[in-house]
Copies of this chain bind each other. A is one copy, B any other.
Amino acid sequence: MIPNLNIVPFVSVDNMMKLVMRTGIERFLTELVAYIEEDFRRWELFDKTPRIGAHSEAGVIELMPTSDGTLYGFKYVNGHPYNTRTGRQTVTAFGVLADTASGYPTLITEMTILTALRTAATSAMAAKYLAPKGADTMAIIGNGAQSEFQALAFKAVLGIDKLRLYDLDPNATTKCARNLAGYGFEITECATPEEAVSGAHIITTVTADKKNATILTDNMVGAGVHINAVGGDCPGKTELHKDVVLRSEIFVEYPPQTWIEGEIQQLDRDHPINELWKVVSGQAEGRRDARQITLFDSVGFAIEDFSALRYLRDRLAGTGLFEELDLLADPDEPRDLFGMLLRSTKQDAKVA
């Protein structure tokens, strides 16, 4: 007898927050990096497809599926820049993990918080291979919803403990500094992006600009710096001046998607780029020397969500931090779906 075939565990926002905080954010991020790294090493195994988007005037709704042959995962994610006007999030997400052997979903979860964590974990993983040796100082330009997650991932994975924060809105910077107090950072709130990048070994750009912006211009980026370009991520939405991109050694997740969404949408399609998975799996070099400028042109890819879903499933075990959804019809006799309906009436009548 297989019990409860109708039930799928569901991780609510509330339970996700409990799980992350009880685990400890830095431990959560460090363990998540290990899962993402494992999946980048077996990159070739995965079903890969660019995200499937439904565009409207207000924004986009996307499905991001992938599979390693044993597990299947997908994320539903929206991007609606004007949502904040109605008190909503610009980006929300939820995800599903399933078993390819039966096709049955095995986990449904909020992914707004989990996506911020996986994005930060992916950035920190890339920086392990690309940041200059001995880096301890990071500029964060854009101090919105993702900034604290980026900071903590870089602290947990690379030991970054000096932050230089800048945002067009000083209130965002203050919020970020306040949230990170007590995590062991030396934090400098900066009045200009130029001040923020001064002395930084790593520059993280994570702004929410809606159009082509030039957060970083050429004169701001010195030799040896690693740029972690997280914002942008739409056709027509970039953060770096083209000259900065041209001076950098560029590393990307999935080229067919990054050419459309990333900083490299500004370049000719024959410009040389590197695939991060090849670096992680030892098939290509990361940073070659101390003076090189490296750029991780992050746009976010389905495999990272898959890793996050896989980690969540394992981390969840034994915690009880989930609810049980009665999602899958499970008649006593598989061919008797209608009979199940008929019998439910009798149940219903008894209860009423």
Contacts and interface: CB of A to CB of B under 8 A. Distances in A.
Interface size grouping (class) on chain A: 35 or more
A72 B90 CA distance: 17
B52 A63 contact: yes
A106 to B, nearest CB: 12
A301 to B, nearest CB: 16
Interface stretch (A34-42, A141-149, A311-319): A141-149
A112 B67 CA distance: 23
A172 interface: yes
Interface string A68-92: 0100101010111001101111101
Given A87-B5, A88-B102, A334-B90, A21 B54 contact: no
A98 interface: yes
Interface stretch (A6-14, A239-247, A253-261, A280-288): A6-14
B72 A341 contact: no
A105 interface: yes
Nearest to A329: B112
A58 B67 CA distance: 14
Contact of A338 (B18, B103, B145, B338): B145
Interface string A10-43: 1011100110111001000000000000000000
- Classify the secondary structure of A's interface with B: mixed
A279 interface: no
A325 B86 CA distance: 20
A344 interface: yes
B80 A113 contact: no
A291 interface: no
Q: How many copies does the complex hold?
A: 2
B334 A88 contact: yes
B52 A80 contact: no
A89 B18 contact: no
Contact of A335 (B112, B172, B341): B172
Contacts of A331: 89, 145
A326 B47 contact: no
Contacts of A219: none
Interface string A144-185: 111111000000000000000000000010010001000000
B149 A327 contact: no
B13 A6 contact: yes
A348 interface: yes
Contact of A54 (B1, B47, B60): B47
A66 B54 CA distance: 8
A191 interface: no
Given A87-B5, A88-B5, A339-B179, A54 B78 contact: no
Nearest to A18: B348
Contacts of A87: 1-2, 5, 334
Interface of A: 1-2, 5-6, 10, 12-14, 17-18, 20-22, 25, 47, 49, 52, 54, 56, 58-61, 63, 65-67, 69, 72, 74, 76, 78-80, 83-84, 86-90, 92, 94, 96, 98, 100-105, 110, 112-113, 116, 144-149, 172, 175, 179, 325-331, 333-342, 344-345, 348
Enumerate the 5 nearest inter-chain pairs by beta-carbon distance, A residue then B residue, closest first: A78-B103, A112-B329, A148-B338, A17-B344, A12-B326
